Amino acid sequence: MIRVIIAEDDYRIANIHEKFLETISGIEVVGKALNGEQTLDMVSKTATDLILLDIYMPDMLGSDIMLEIRHRNPNIDFIMISAATETKIVGNVIRNGIFDYIIKPVKMERFIETIKRYKNMKQQLAAKNEVDQSFLDDYFGQKLSTREPTPKGIDPLTLEKVEGILHQVNTGITAEKMGSKVGASRTTARRYLEYLISINKVTAELEYGIVGRPERRYHLK
Protein backbone atom coordinates (compact mmCIF):
# COMPACT_ATOMS: atom_id res chain seq x y z
CA MET A 1 0.00 0.00 0.00
CA ILE A 2 1.35 3.41 -1.03
CA ARG A 3 0.51 6.11 1.51
CA VAL A 4 -0.19 9.55 0.05
CA ILE A 5 -0.58 13.03 1.51
CA ILE A 6 -2.35 15.64 -0.61
CA ALA A 7 -0.92 19.10 0.16
CA GLU A 8 -3.30 21.52 -1.55
CA ASP A 9 -4.74 24.79 -0.22
CA ASP A 10 -7.99 24.46 -2.21
CA TYR A 11 -10.00 21.74 -0.47
CA ARG A 12 -12.18 21.27 -3.56
CA ILE A 13 -9.16 20.41 -5.70
CA ALA A 14 -7.79 18.19 -2.93
CA ASN A 15 -11.08 16.29 -2.89
CA ILE A 16 -10.97 15.85 -6.67
CA HIS A 17 -7.43 14.47 -6.48
CA GLU A 18 -8.52 12.13 -3.70
CA LYS A 19 -11.35 10.83 -5.92
CA PHE A 20 -8.84 10.22 -8.71
CA LEU A 21 -6.63 8.25 -6.30
CA GLU A 22 -9.58 6.14 -5.20
CA THR A 23 -9.75 4.66 -8.69
CA ILE A 24 -6.26 3.14 -8.32
CA SER A 25 -5.73 0.03 -6.23
CA GLY A 26 -2.93 -0.04 -3.68
CA ILE A 27 -3.13 3.69 -2.92
CA GLU A 28 -4.20 5.10 0.45
CA VAL A 29 -4.71 8.80 1.20
CA VAL A 30 -3.42 9.22 4.75
CA GLY A 31 -4.06 12.94 5.00
CA LYS A 32 -4.89 16.24 3.30
CA ALA A 33 -3.08 19.43 4.27
CA LEU A 34 -4.20 22.98 3.44
CA ASN A 35 -0.87 24.71 4.10
CA GLY A 36 2.82 24.10 4.69
CA GLU A 37 2.57 23.93 8.49
CA GLN A 38 -0.12 21.24 8.32
CA THR A 39 1.93 19.33 5.77
CA LEU A 40 5.05 19.30 7.96
CA ASP A 41 3.02 18.33 11.01
CA MET A 42 1.30 15.52 9.13
CA VAL A 43 4.59 14.14 7.84
CA SER A 44 6.01 14.05 11.37
CA LYS A 45 3.06 12.00 12.61
CA THR A 46 2.09 9.84 9.64
CA ALA A 47 4.00 7.20 7.68
CA THR A 48 4.11 8.58 4.14
CA ASP A 49 5.49 7.42 0.79
CA LEU A 50 4.36 10.16 -1.56
CA ILE A 51 3.24 13.79 -1.30
CA LEU A 52 1.18 15.50 -3.99
CA LEU A 53 2.37 19.06 -3.43
CA ASP A 54 1.30 22.46 -4.74
CA ILE A 55 3.89 25.20 -5.19
CA TYR A 56 1.69 28.08 -4.08
CA MET A 57 0.72 27.31 -0.49
CA PRO A 58 -0.61 30.08 1.81
CA ASP A 59 2.30 30.11 4.26
CA MET A 60 5.25 28.56 2.40
CA LEU A 61 6.35 27.77 -1.12
CA GLY A 62 5.98 24.10 -1.98
CA SER A 63 9.66 24.02 -2.96
CA ASP A 64 10.60 25.07 0.59
CA ILE A 65 8.20 22.53 2.09
CA MET A 66 9.83 19.82 0.00
CA LEU A 67 13.35 20.75 1.16
CA GLU A 68 12.29 20.76 4.81
CA ILE A 69 10.63 17.36 4.46
CA ARG A 70 13.68 15.96 2.67
CA HIS A 71 15.79 17.11 5.63
CA ARG A 72 13.51 15.22 7.98
CA ASN A 73 12.79 12.17 5.84
CA PRO A 74 14.72 11.66 2.58
CA ASN A 75 12.64 8.61 1.66
CA ILE A 76 9.47 10.52 0.82
CA ASP A 77 8.76 11.14 -2.87
CA PHE A 78 7.06 14.16 -4.43
CA ILE A 79 4.81 14.86 -7.37
CA MET A 80 4.25 18.57 -7.90
CA ILE A 81 0.75 19.59 -8.98
CA SER A 82 0.66 23.33 -9.53
CA ALA A 83 -0.30 26.22 -11.76
CA ALA A 84 3.26 27.52 -11.44
CA THR A 85 4.96 27.57 -14.83
CA GLU A 86 7.84 30.01 -14.21
CA THR A 87 11.05 28.46 -15.47
CA LYS A 88 13.00 29.37 -12.32
CA ILE A 89 10.45 27.74 -9.99
CA VAL A 90 9.96 24.62 -12.08
CA GLY A 91 13.69 24.20 -12.66
CA ASN A 92 14.37 24.52 -8.94
CA VAL A 93 12.01 21.72 -7.90
CA ILE A 94 13.23 19.50 -10.72
CA ARG A 95 16.83 19.90 -9.58
CA ASN A 96 15.81 19.04 -6.02
CA GLY A 97 14.27 15.78 -7.13
CA ILE A 98 10.62 15.15 -7.96
CA PHE A 99 8.98 12.19 -9.65
CA ASP A 100 6.78 14.31 -11.92
CA TYR A 101 5.31 17.78 -12.39
CA ILE A 102 1.69 18.21 -13.47
CA ILE A 103 0.40 21.65 -14.45
CA LYS A 104 -3.08 22.69 -13.31
CA PRO A 105 -5.81 22.32 -14.34
CA VAL A 106 -5.15 18.60 -14.05
CA LYS A 107 -6.53 16.15 -16.55
CA MET A 108 -7.69 12.94 -14.92
CA GLU A 109 -5.95 10.73 -17.49
CA ARG A 110 -2.60 12.47 -16.97
CA PHE A 111 -2.95 12.30 -13.19
CA ILE A 112 -3.82 8.61 -13.13
CA GLU A 113 -1.05 7.70 -15.60
CA THR A 114 1.52 9.41 -13.36
CA ILE A 115 0.31 7.72 -10.17
CA LYS A 116 0.25 4.30 -11.83
CA ARG A 117 3.75 4.86 -13.19
CA TYR A 118 4.96 5.87 -9.72
CA LYS A 119 3.29 2.84 -8.15
CA ASN A 120 4.83 0.51 -10.72
CA MET A 121 8.32 1.97 -10.31
CA LYS A 122 8.16 1.85 -6.53
CA GLN A 123 7.07 -1.79 -6.59
CA GLN A 124 9.82 -2.70 -9.04
CA LEU A 125 12.48 -0.93 -6.99
CA ALA A 126 11.35 -2.76 -3.87
CA ALA A 127 11.68 -6.09 -5.68
CA LYS A 128 15.12 -5.49 -7.22
CA ASN A 129 18.63 -5.74 -5.84
CA GLU A 130 20.00 -4.15 -9.00
CA VAL A 131 18.45 -2.19 -11.85
CA ASP A 132 19.13 -2.36 -15.57
CA GLN A 133 19.13 0.37 -18.21
CA SER A 134 15.62 -0.40 -19.45
CA PHE A 135 14.24 0.10 -15.94
CA LEU A 136 16.04 3.45 -15.62
CA ASP A 137 14.86 4.52 -19.07
CA ASP A 138 11.28 3.85 -17.99
CA TYR A 139 11.82 5.61 -14.66
CA PHE A 140 13.20 8.77 -16.22
CA GLY A 141 10.71 8.74 -19.08
CA GLN A 142 13.12 7.97 -21.88
CA LYS A 143 11.26 7.19 -25.08
CA LEU A 144 14.13 5.56 -26.93
CA SER A 145 12.69 2.52 -28.61
CA THR A 146 14.16 -0.83 -27.70
CA ARG A 147 11.41 -2.83 -29.36
CA GLU A 148 12.10 -5.83 -31.45
CA PRO A 149 10.95 -5.38 -35.05
CA THR A 150 7.22 -6.00 -35.22
CA PRO A 151 5.77 -8.60 -37.58
CA LYS A 152 3.83 -7.77 -40.71
CA GLY A 153 0.45 -6.25 -39.87
CA ILE A 154 1.62 -4.74 -36.55
CA ASP A 155 2.37 -1.03 -36.83
CA PRO A 156 4.75 0.12 -34.03
CA LEU A 157 2.94 3.43 -33.46
CA THR A 158 -0.46 1.76 -33.23
CA LEU A 159 1.02 -0.86 -30.94
CA GLU A 160 2.36 1.88 -28.66
CA LYS A 161 -1.08 3.50 -28.57
CA VAL A 162 -2.72 0.18 -27.67
CA GLU A 163 -0.23 -0.32 -24.83
CA GLY A 164 -0.85 3.22 -23.61
CA ILE A 165 -4.58 2.58 -23.40
CA LEU A 166 -3.97 -0.67 -21.52
CA HIS A 167 -1.98 1.29 -18.93
CA GLN A 168 -4.98 3.58 -18.39
CA VAL A 169 -7.62 0.92 -17.70
CA ASN A 170 -7.86 -0.82 -14.35
CA THR A 171 -10.29 -3.59 -15.23
CA GLY A 172 -8.97 -4.63 -18.62
CA ILE A 173 -10.52 -3.98 -22.01
CA THR A 174 -12.23 -5.91 -24.78
CA ALA A 175 -11.12 -5.86 -28.40
CA GLU A 176 -14.28 -3.99 -29.35
CA LYS A 177 -13.64 -1.19 -26.87
CA MET A 178 -9.97 -1.05 -27.81
CA GLY A 179 -10.93 -0.71 -31.44
CA SER A 180 -13.18 2.26 -30.69
CA LYS A 181 -10.40 3.96 -28.72
CA VAL A 182 -7.71 3.56 -31.38
CA GLY A 183 -10.04 4.14 -34.32
CA ALA A 184 -9.75 0.63 -35.71
CA SER A 185 -11.98 -2.36 -36.23
CA ARG A 186 -12.56 -4.96 -33.55
CA THR A 187 -10.60 -7.47 -35.64
CA THR A 188 -7.61 -5.14 -35.95
CA ALA A 189 -7.63 -4.35 -32.25
CA ARG A 190 -7.76 -8.05 -31.42
CA ARG A 191 -4.73 -8.66 -33.66
CA TYR A 192 -2.67 -6.15 -31.65
CA LEU A 193 -3.89 -7.48 -28.31
CA GLU A 194 -3.16 -11.07 -29.27
CA TYR A 195 0.30 -10.01 -30.42
CA LEU A 196 0.94 -8.50 -26.98
CA ILE A 197 -0.09 -11.82 -25.46
CA SER A 198 2.40 -13.59 -27.73
CA ILE A 199 5.27 -11.43 -26.41
CA ASN A 200 4.16 -11.98 -22.81
CA LYS A 201 3.02 -8.44 -22.06
CA VAL A 202 -0.70 -9.07 -21.80
CA THR A 203 -3.03 -11.73 -20.46
CA ALA A 204 -6.67 -12.42 -21.38
CA GLU A 205 -9.67 -13.91 -19.65
CA LEU A 206 -13.13 -14.80 -20.85
CA GLU A 207 -15.89 -12.44 -19.82
CA TYR A 208 -19.41 -13.86 -19.82
CA GLY A 209 -22.23 -11.43 -20.45
CA ILE A 210 -25.91 -11.91 -19.78
CA VAL A 211 -26.54 -12.86 -23.39
CA GLY A 212 -24.35 -13.70 -26.33
CA ARG A 213 -20.98 -15.33 -26.65
CA PRO A 214 -18.21 -14.80 -24.08
CA GLU A 215 -15.63 -12.14 -24.99
CA ARG A 216 -11.96 -11.93 -24.14
CA ARG A 217 -10.91 -9.13 -21.77
CA TYR A 218 -7.27 -8.13 -21.99
CA HIS A 219 -5.04 -6.98 -19.09
CA LEU A 220 -1.45 -5.83 -18.84
CA LYS A 221 0.75 -8.23 -16.89
Q: Please state the rounded mean pLDDT for residues 123-130.
A: 86
Same fold? 2-127, 156-220? no
Whether the predicted pLDDT of 142 surpasses 70: no
Q: What is the pLDDT of residue 140?
A: 77
Domain boundaries, the chain: 2-127, 156-220
103-115 confidence digits (pLDDT tens): 999 999 999 999 9
Q: What is the mean pLDDT of residues 12-33?
A: 96
pLDDT of 209? 62
CA nearest to 50, candidates 17, 83, 23, 84: 17
Architecture of domain 2-127: 3-Layer(aba) Sandwich (3.40)
Helices 108-127 and 156-168: crossing angle in degrees, nearest 10, is 90
Give the pLDDT mean for 6-11: 97
Question: According to the model, what pLDDT value does residue 148 have?
Answer: 64
* pLDDT surpassing 80 at residue 143: no
* Cβ–Cβ < 8 Å for 216, 207: yes
Q: Which element (helix H / strand E) includes 156?
A: helix 156-168
CATH: 1.10.10.10, 1.10.287.130, 3.30.420.40, 3.40.605.10. Which one for 156-220? 1.10.10.10
pTM for the structure as a whole: 0.64
Q: Tell me the pLDDT tens digit for each residue of 148-171.
A: 678 888 998 899 899 989 988 888
Region 14-36 average pLDDT: 96
pLDDT at residue 136, as a whole number: 80
